[in-house]
Structure 1
């Protein structure tokens, strides 16, 4: 399973690029999964639902299943540490390409999403795991190739080439 990431500062457009990149990759016949890092607490469950009640009652894991999808929620309790990226990846089913959104300090290859309007420094200037920058304009002093942030097909072609995925 190939692993490739998108990273960048909050508000740079990582998720917007991700949701355009996924169909550009799946249209090439690739099976793609994603991992998204959330910095804040988040919840995919809702009060009043049976699964939420199970968690509130103290269940460590709750698996919800239907004919269309299933979801496993694992509650970190008693100061359990957040899982590492490699621990999370080990929990996923194999696919052709795993796209990682966030996790900017991890060593996998990634594209930095950068916009001058966000007014944050270029991460690629000091991070060798960043192999390209996707931007909506010029990127002064960029040490890696710059891709058009608005051209998901070109970004997909770069990812496919970089990961050696050619023709599945």
Structure 2
């Protein structure tokens, strides 16, 4: 995926630095937990959750369980959210729901609803980029980068082996 360089808002080292900081913040807020569940919203949110998991494992003794939340972003009300693996026990657990960009909060709202049925102890939200255009009652607990944009702007986060960056499109 190639983007015009002038539209880059975060480069690889900046993203890595933000992930480390977010991991420390997550640890600080959850240091009393024995286990923490990181649930990444499928595709880039899950990749971000993997990166946060690696950092948390470096800095804390907390057992981190990683799961994938698969949601149809074009029609989230029509298809139930799938959690993979399905065997993870979420009852009375501390969960951090992870996505790359918090825009309107719509996708995170549908994802949150899927976790509530398991009666977790708490749910927090981590997002790499917060656009502050929430139309749904969702706020990020942990944010890597806050950016004021217009509603027409789009943020593209790339977390691939050959490219790690965030772009304003």
TM-score where L is the length of structure 2? 0.35
User: Which structure would you say has the larger Rg?
Assistant: 1
Compare the two structures and name the one with the higher strand fraction: 2
